[in-house]
Amino acid sequence: MDTTADDTPTTSGGEGWSEDMELAPIRPGDVEEPQHDDDSPGERLQKVLARAGVGSRRVSEDMIDAGRISVNGQVVRVQGMRVDPDTAVIAVDGRRIDIRNDKVTYAMNKPVGIITSMSDDRGRPTVGDMIGDLAVGLTHVGRLDQDTEGLLLLTTDGELAHRLAHPSYLVSKTYLAQVTGSVPRDLHRTLRKGIELEDGPVKVDSFHVVDAHAGQSVVEVVLHEGRKHIVRRLLAEVGLPVTRLTRTAVGPIELARMRTGTIRKLTRTEVGALHELVGM
C-alpha cells in the first residue's frame, strides 16, 4: 500500500509559510512580550500555531504583529493570547487551519472491486483491508459502490464524518461518468430542475459533457445527494447507462493525481476547509 502524508501548510494569502522565515532574526525594534497570567486557561497562541506547523514561535509572533492571525473571526494583535485548541477557530490570512493533533483524516483513491466496509463476512476485499492499522479508529465517510472508484475520505473524527455524510450539510460530490449514448443538448437544464426516481426526486448542482466519441460520452455530475447508486440511477433514467464511474471530489477535497489504491493524509489546511464547510 502506498501511503503519503503531505502535511505542509499552504496559503494563497502571500508569503510567510516558507522555511526561510524560521531563520528570520529578531528585529531591533522588537519589544518585550507583555506578561500574562500563566494560570489562565488554554495555551499560548504562538505555541498552538507552532505545533500546527505554521512556523516557529518567533515566526508566529511576526504573523500576529502583521495582523495575519485571527481567532474566532477576530484579528489578534496582542502577543501571548491564550486559546483552547479544542474549540478555537484559528485562521491564517483568512484561511482556517486545523490545530487538533488527536484526529487524522485521509483521502483514498478506492479501486473498483473494493467494498466500502471495514470488514466483510463473505471474504471480499474491503477498505479495511487496504488501510490496515494506519490509524486507530479510522472509518470511511459515506460509501462508494463496489463498482465505483475514486475519492473516499477516512477519518478518526466521528463528528466530522457524521456532518460530511449527512444530507442536511449539503456537501457536494463530483463524479466523472462514462455513459453509453449521446447526451441531449438541453439535458443539463432537465437535471438541474430535477428527475423523479422511485424513491423520490433528485436534481444536480451542475452537469456538463466533458467528451463525446463514437456513441460514448464522458460527463461530469455534481450533486449533494447520498442515496444508494444515485448517479447511476439518475443517468439511467435519462437514457444514459453508466459504464464507468469515478468520484473526483468531496467538497473542497479533490482526487487530483492520486494513483488508484493510494492513500494520503490531508493537510491541516484541507482539514480546516472541511471543518469550515460543515460548521465545525
The residues, ordered by sequence, that sit 6+ positions from 272 with a Cβ below 8 Å of its Cβ are: 91, 95, 96, 97, 98
Amino acid at 76: V
Q: Are 83 and 46 in contact (CB under 8 A)?
A: no
CB contact burial 77-97 (16+ within 10 A = b; e otherwise): eebbbbbebeebbbbbbeebb
Q: Is 98 in the active site? A: no
Say which residues have a Cβ less than 8 Å from residue 229's Cβ, sequence separation at least 6.
145
Q: Which of 73, 63, 9 is nearest to 272 (CA)?
A: 9
C-alpha cell at 135: 490509524
Eight-state DSSP code of residue 126: B
Helix 158-165 to helix 268-277 angle (10° resolution) is 50
Radius of gyration of the chain (CA): 23
Q: Which of 145, 147, 186, 205 is catalytic?
A: 145
Q: How many residues does the chain have?
A: 280
Sequence-distant (6+) residues with CB within 8 A of 123 are none
For residue 110, give the 3-state DSSP assignment: strand
The whole-angstrom separation of Cα 110 and Cα 114 is: 7
Pair 81, 71: CB distance under 8 Å: yes
- By annotation, the residues acting in catalysis are 145
